[in-house]
Structure 1
Amino acid sequence: MTLLFKIGFLEVGWVDFIDVFLVSILLYQIYKLIRGSIAVNIFLGILALYLIYLIVQAAQMELLATILGQFMGVGVLAMIILFQPEIRKFLLVIGRGTEFRENIFKTITNWRSQYHDDFDIQQIMEAAKTLKATRTGALVVFSRDTELKFYAETGDALNAEVNKRLLLSIFNKNSPLHDGAVIIHKGRIKAARCVLPVSENDHLPATFGLRHRSALGMSENTDTLVMAISEETGRLILARNGKFLKALKLKQVEQKILEYLHNDEPANWEELHVGETEAESPTSNS
């Protein structure tokens, strides 16, 4: 190991420096995932207990060190149980961040983009316009890569072609299918009345109802784009990767949906090319 510098008896090399740097990044990413939830208090409690264990061990308090050591021995298993949702979210973030599929399966990506050129986005936009105008609640999930079978099975299978009349019928207040989400994959409505995970983020605007929180929760847990329309106000938001855009014009909604389906999203997802709107992250207090 190449020596970088020495502090007393402690020798610090480049490998140690890189090791500390990578651990710092890992801890920061974990903090970002659990920030705003009750999990952060549990994490800080476990971290404090571990620091106490190190101090007790260094002070050679054998009895207390033994007791804490037994607890730390099952600490990894306990953390997996306590932080199961956060660990799952962390792995999903890693999976979404890789470009493995884009590089290895380029031909599949090209085929998928060609298919979506035939996707009639106008049917979605006309339905959204009517739903907003009539203040009819709606929740639509766009999935580019997967069929979301787990979520689709919570609702009723349709496998129908996307069209305005069908969407309006599904979300009609008197329809038995209106209470839940519609999942659209490869230009077809796979299922309706689907149950979505609700975001546990405590920093969402107080005006957000269950539909908007479900849209954020689905975007946090899956690689999807979700459109939600409020039944009370007619407000439309788009959610992606735990972030949301509101006060969108319909042309901007169309732009973001097409970018997602064509796998052509900008590095900064909030970036818009048509007019101006208000972009926010879940930590915004508005």
Structure 2
Amino acid sequence: MLKGVTHFVTNLPWQAAFDVLISTVIIYYVIMLIKGTRAVQLAWGLVLLFLFARIADWVEFRTLSLLLGTIATPGATVAIVILFYPELRHALEEVGRGRFWAMRGLMLRREDVSAVVDELIETAQRLSQRRFGALMVIERDDGLDDIATTGTALGATVTPRLLETIFYPGTPLHDGAVIIRGNEVIAAECVLPLSDNSRISSSLHTRHRAALGLAETTDAAVLVVSEETGNISLAYDGRLLTALRPEVARDKLLSLLQRDESLEGRRGNDPGSAGGKGAGSATPKEEAIPEPPEVAGVAAVSALEEPRTLRGMLYSGLRRARGLFGIGNRVSGLRSLFRGEPSD
């Protein structure tokens, strides 16, 4: 067998070897360019489409094969250009700068989850008492590098004093959102996509719409502090919970971050670590969250409960199909096609 392999390698044309080498390098750099962005989720959707087309052709489902083949061949090219437009533009900019090797930082470790959540909730309480508006984005599985590039890079450890300084009115970075990866603030003054959900109360303005907009297009969790009322809100998975008590917000955020670990087992295997202590016992239900009179009826807004438009049904179906096949959390990047840009 070894002789056969040696014979194959020694008689391999140099053109073929060079071809394989170049193709490998290109594929590697493409993966590096989309890693840490929402393009990864869209890429999984296209991979599934091609996979289903090949399976249908193999088992001789002719009608399904014809349908999927029609979509997967000419339609895929158009879909890639449309769906990946922001990522393609970002990738070309990275190519121009020669930054192929940029890598994402480490995600939250299990033992650090509780400590980071406590820091964020303490910050939210302080800002709420002083009526300082804030947007704090906690990255989960979906990379937010493309969002982080809209702001100012920081790379500082999460502390209440740092976040209070950032959101103090009049400071250069107080407008926009901070992006938190693990226990590090990677960027501030970031621009988030606005939600177009028509069910949001008119009493909720740009800050809440931006939080819900990001929660609709990624799996990030977003803490919001209202500048007008001081209310603490939490956006996640296309939902917006408003007027939360600090302890309720803490339990919900903690359960979200620890749920990621229990489902995927990627960030630690110690069930007795500090992050897991009492996390699941106080997880609130949306309907049980008290609402003040001024925001009654808007404590829970779900993107999947919006009117059954073609876009809404397509998005809902793709998310459920993604979860059914276990590929990831959700195919959420499609909504980036319809996002707006928040105004100051």
Instruction: Find the partner of 1:216 among 200, 212, 215.
Output: 212
Give the Å deviation of 1:76: 6.2
Give the Å deviation of 1:210: 0.3
The alignment status of 1:195 with 2:191, answered yes or no, reads yes
Structure-2 residue corresponding to 1:167: 163
Aligned mates of 1:124, 1:263 — CA distance in 2: 18
In the alignment, structure 1 segments of 5+ residues that lack a partner are 1-74, 89-107
| 2:110/2:261 contact within 8 Å kept | no
Structure-2 residue corresponding to 1:116: 113
Structure-1 residue corresponding to 2:300: 280
Aligned mates of 1:144, 1:189 — CA distance in 2: 14
| 1:141/1:181 contact within 8 Å kept | yes
Give the Å deviation of 1:233: 1.6
| 1:147/1:185 contact within 8 Å kept | no
Give the Å deviation of 1:160: 0.6
In the alignment, structure 2 segments of 5+ residues that lack a partner are 1-73, 88-105, 264-282, 292-298, 307-344
Aligned mates of 1:236, 1:266 — CA distance in 2: 26
1:212-261 deviation digits (Å, cap 9, x = unpaired):
00000000011111111111221221111111111211001111111122
Aligned mates of 1:132, 1:194 — CA distance in 2: 21
Aligned mates of 1:174, 1:213 — CA distance in 2: 22
Structure-2 residue corresponding to 1:19: none
Aligned residues with identical type, % of pairs? 38
| 2:199/2:301 contact within 8 Å kept | no
Q: Which amino acid aligns with 2:154?
A: L
Q: Which amino acid aligns with 2:145?
A: K
Q: 1:277 to 1:265 in 2, by over 3 A?
A: farther
Aligned mates of 2:141, 2:219 — CA distance in 1: 8
Q: 1:266 to 1:205 in 2, by over 3 A?
A: farther
Instruction: Find the partner of 1:130 among 123, 126, 135.
Output: 126
Q: 1:265 to 1:241 in 2, by over 3 A?
A: farther
Q: 1:227 to 1:266 in 2, by over 3 A?
A: farther
Instruction: Find the partner of 2:223 among 220, 223, 227.
Output: 227
Aligned mates of 1:189, 1:239 — CA distance in 2: 19
Q: 1:147 to 1:265 in 2, by over 3 A?
A: closer
Tell which deviates more after alignment, 245-254 or 255-264: 255-264
RMSD: 3.6
The alignment status of 1:205 with 2:201, answered yes or no, reads yes
Q: 1:146 to 1:237 in 2, by over 3 A?
A: same
1:50-96 deviation digits (Å, cap 9, x = unpaired):
xxxxxxxxxxxxxxxxxxxxxxxxx969x959x959xx9xxxxxxxx
| 1:142/1:225 contact within 8 Å kept | yes
Higher relative contact order (CA 8 A, sep 6+): 2
Kindly indicate which of the two structures has a greater share of residues assigned to strand.
Answer: 1
Aligned ranges 1:49-68 → 2 under 5 Å:
none
Residues paired across the two proteins, number: 187
Moved over 6 A (4+): none
Q: 1:266 to 1:232 in 2, by over 3 A?
A: farther
Aligned mates of 1:195, 1:257 — CA distance in 2: 22
> What TM-score do you get using the length of structure 1 for normalisation?
0.56
Q: 1:265 to 1:219 in 2, by over 3 A?
A: farther
| 2:147/2:191 contact within 8 Å kept | yes
Give the Å deviation of 1:147: 4.5
Aligned ranges 1:8-47 → 2 under 5 Å:
none
Secondary structure (helix, strand or coil) at the match of 2:192 reads: coil
| 2:179/2:190 contact within 8 Å kept | yes
1:110-134 deviation digits (Å, cap 9, x = unpaired):
x8434435x3332212211111111
